[in-house]
Amino acid sequence: MLIRGDRLTPQQRREVLGAFSMRWTIDNVNRVANWANVPQTERPTIDLCTDDEWLRDHAFYFVADGSRLDWRYFFCEPAFMAEDT
Protein backbone atom coordinates (compact mmCIF):
# COMPACT_ATOMS: atom_id res chain seq x y z
CA MET A 1 0.00 0.00 0.00
CA LEU A 2 1.28 3.43 -0.91
CA ILE A 3 0.99 6.08 1.84
CA ARG A 4 1.65 9.79 1.40
CA GLY A 5 4.39 11.10 3.65
CA ASP A 6 2.13 13.69 5.24
CA ARG A 7 -0.22 10.88 6.35
CA LEU A 8 2.35 8.71 8.14
CA THR A 9 1.98 7.77 11.78
CA PRO A 10 4.89 8.77 14.05
CA GLN A 11 6.22 5.18 13.92
CA GLN A 12 5.97 5.03 10.11
CA ARG A 13 7.69 8.41 9.87
CA ARG A 14 10.63 7.18 11.99
CA GLU A 15 10.92 4.07 9.85
CA VAL A 16 10.89 6.05 6.59
CA LEU A 17 13.46 8.60 7.78
CA GLY A 18 15.69 5.76 8.97
CA ALA A 19 15.38 3.81 5.73
CA PHE A 20 15.98 6.74 3.37
CA SER A 21 19.30 7.89 4.79
CA MET A 22 20.50 9.43 1.50
CA ARG A 23 17.69 12.00 1.40
CA TRP A 24 18.87 15.50 0.55
CA THR A 25 17.39 17.38 3.51
CA ILE A 26 18.59 19.88 6.09
CA ASP A 27 17.28 17.70 8.93
CA ASN A 28 19.17 14.57 7.84
CA VAL A 29 21.99 14.38 10.41
CA ASN A 30 23.71 11.66 8.35
CA ARG A 31 23.64 13.60 5.06
CA VAL A 32 27.23 14.86 5.20
CA ALA A 33 28.67 11.45 6.11
CA ASN A 34 26.50 9.58 3.58
CA TRP A 35 27.47 11.85 0.71
CA ALA A 36 31.15 12.32 1.69
CA ASN A 37 32.51 9.75 -0.78
CA VAL A 38 30.23 10.75 -3.64
CA PRO A 39 31.97 13.01 -6.18
CA GLN A 40 30.64 16.57 -6.19
CA THR A 41 29.49 16.17 -9.80
CA GLU A 42 27.21 13.26 -8.80
CA ARG A 43 25.54 14.96 -5.83
CA PRO A 44 22.06 16.46 -6.08
CA THR A 45 21.95 20.00 -7.38
CA ILE A 46 18.53 20.85 -5.95
CA ASP A 47 18.23 23.04 -2.88
CA LEU A 48 18.06 21.33 0.48
CA CYS A 49 14.59 21.08 2.01
CA THR A 50 13.32 20.02 5.44
CA ASP A 51 12.26 16.47 6.27
CA ASP A 52 8.66 17.71 6.54
CA GLU A 53 8.78 19.14 3.01
CA TRP A 54 10.41 15.97 1.66
CA LEU A 55 7.81 13.74 3.31
CA ARG A 56 4.95 15.92 2.05
CA ASP A 57 6.22 15.52 -1.52
CA HIS A 58 6.67 11.72 -1.45
CA ALA A 59 4.71 8.51 -0.83
CA PHE A 60 6.08 5.25 0.57
CA TYR A 61 5.26 1.57 0.15
CA PHE A 62 4.09 -0.18 3.32
CA VAL A 63 2.75 -3.70 3.81
CA ALA A 64 -1.05 -3.99 3.82
CA ASP A 65 -1.47 -3.46 7.57
CA GLY A 66 0.87 -0.44 7.55
CA SER A 67 3.13 -1.96 10.20
CA ARG A 68 6.38 -1.69 8.24
CA LEU A 69 7.89 -0.61 4.95
CA ASP A 70 7.43 -3.05 2.09
CA TRP A 71 10.99 -4.04 1.24
CA ARG A 72 10.04 -5.17 -2.27
CA TYR A 73 10.32 -1.47 -3.09
CA PHE A 74 13.64 0.33 -2.66
CA PHE A 75 12.30 3.73 -3.67
CA CYS A 76 9.53 6.20 -2.97
CA GLU A 77 7.02 7.81 -5.32
CA PRO A 78 5.73 11.35 -5.83
CA ALA A 79 2.95 12.06 -3.31
CA PHE A 80 0.27 12.36 -6.00
CA MET A 81 0.72 8.65 -6.80
CA ALA A 82 -0.89 7.63 -3.48
CA GLU A 83 -4.63 7.40 -3.22
CA ASP A 84 -6.19 10.19 -1.22
CA THR A 85 -8.07 8.01 1.29
- At residue 26, the pLDDT reads 95
Domains: count for the chain: 1
Q: Are 79 and 53 in contact (CB under 8 A)?
A: no
Residue-level pLDDT, tens digit, the chain, 85 residues: 999 999 999 999 999 999 999 999 999 999 999 899 999 999 899 999 999 999 999 999 999 999 999 999 999 999 999 987 5
Q: Which helix (H) or strand (E) holds 13?
A: helix 10-19
Q: Which domain, by its residues, includes 19?
A: 2-81
pLDDT in the model for residue 61: 97
How high is the pLDDT of residue 84? 72
In angstroms, what is the C-alpha Rg of the chain? Answer: 13
